[in-house]
Amino acid sequence: MLRGIYTAESGMLTAIRDINVKSNNLANLSTAGFKQDRLVTTTFAEALAVRQEVRTTGKKYELGYDAVRGRKALELKTDFAQGALQETNRHLDFAIGGNGFFVIGDDREDDEGEEIIYEGKYYTRNGQFQIDDEGYLINGLGHYVLDDGDSPILVERYDFMSDEFGNLFSADGEYIATLGIFNPRNPDLLIKKDEFPFVILDEETAELENEDGELELENLDFDGIIKQGYIERSNTDIASNMAGLISASRSFQSMSQIIKTIDGVVGKSVNELGRL
């Protein structure tokens, strides 16, 4: 009887997390470059098959009396599909057509002197840029937009131009810099963290050893295009997220009702047993 409560509880927790994920997707419908998330869940039968194998971590999961039954959230996956490009005619707006991310620099450190984010850089598809008081190209958080050499880009004025390869030129046609584009072989190494759109997961998974024995990021050549005066719209699917939100809410209500029913049965059983 009590096992049923734990099963329903796992369903409720999964439903709550699913509601939060889909609500966040819908809340960022107007956020340029936003990539929607999906919650990957499993049933007990699927979890049973997985737990009989040694996972990639080398840890073996044992099955027994304490095995959790019910629906469980496994992980959060980001959908990196291209969003629609929208023309804005604003010189400081940029969009990427194809794979890749703008490189943003942030050199902040925590109380222990460690970098807040891996290598002091994070990655985004949001190309709504600005110019600071010193003439550097920055994003909405005030962090530097980096060039292909990981250096801040000094544009000085708003009338600079960009070609489809991300090469920036002044109004006089003088070359300024080339936008840095990070094109990872495996985008799943990127995660969302706090206010940073994407960061490298960690040093062990983000770096591979090259022929010289040195560690480097697995960065593919950029084969897309850069469009100035455009932004990439969020790739959030409104219909599927709304439908999923309704389904998750109903699931939560159903699991809640199951727990109330079981609680009532247990309470009645205890009371009747007490009379004996």
**Confidence band for 255, pLDDT divided at 50, 70 and 90:** confident
User: Does residue 52 surpass a pLDDT of 60?
Assistant: no
pLDDT in tens, 134-152: 999 999 999 999 999 999 9
**Cα→Cα distances 28→40, 131, 171, 233, Å:** 20, 24, 35, 10
- The pTM of this model reads 0.77
Distance, in Å, from the CA atom of 145 to the CA atom of 165, rounded to the nearest integer, reads: 16
Stretch (H or E) spanning 190: strand 190-193
pLDDT at residue 65 in the model:
41
Residue 33: which region, alpha, beta or left (left: phi > 0; alpha: psi -120 to 50)? Answer: left
User: Does residue 14 surpass a pLDDT of 70?
Assistant: yes
For tokens 């998750």, name the residue.
Answer: 248
pLDDT in tens, 158-178: 899 999 999 999 999 999 999
User: Does residue 111 surpass a pLDDT of 90?
Assistant: no
Mean pLDDT of 62-84: 66
The per-residue pLDDT of the chain, averaged, comes to 82
- The long-range contacts involving 200-205, CB below 8 angstroms and separated by at least 24 positions, are 200/118, 200/119, 202/118, 203/118
Percentage of the chain lying above the pLDDT 70 cut: 75
**Cα→Cα distances 275→127, 269, 270, Å:** 71, 10, 9
For 109-120, give one letter per residue: b (16+ CB within 10 A) or e: eeeeeeeebbeb
- Top pLDDT among 231 and 192 is at 231
User: Does residue 95 surpass a pLDDT of 80?
Assistant: yes
Distance, in Å, from the CA atom of 144 to the CA atom of 23, rounded to the nearest integer, reads: 30
- Across the chain, how many H-helices and E-strands are there? 4, 19
User: Does residue 244 surpass a pLDDT of 70?
Assistant: yes
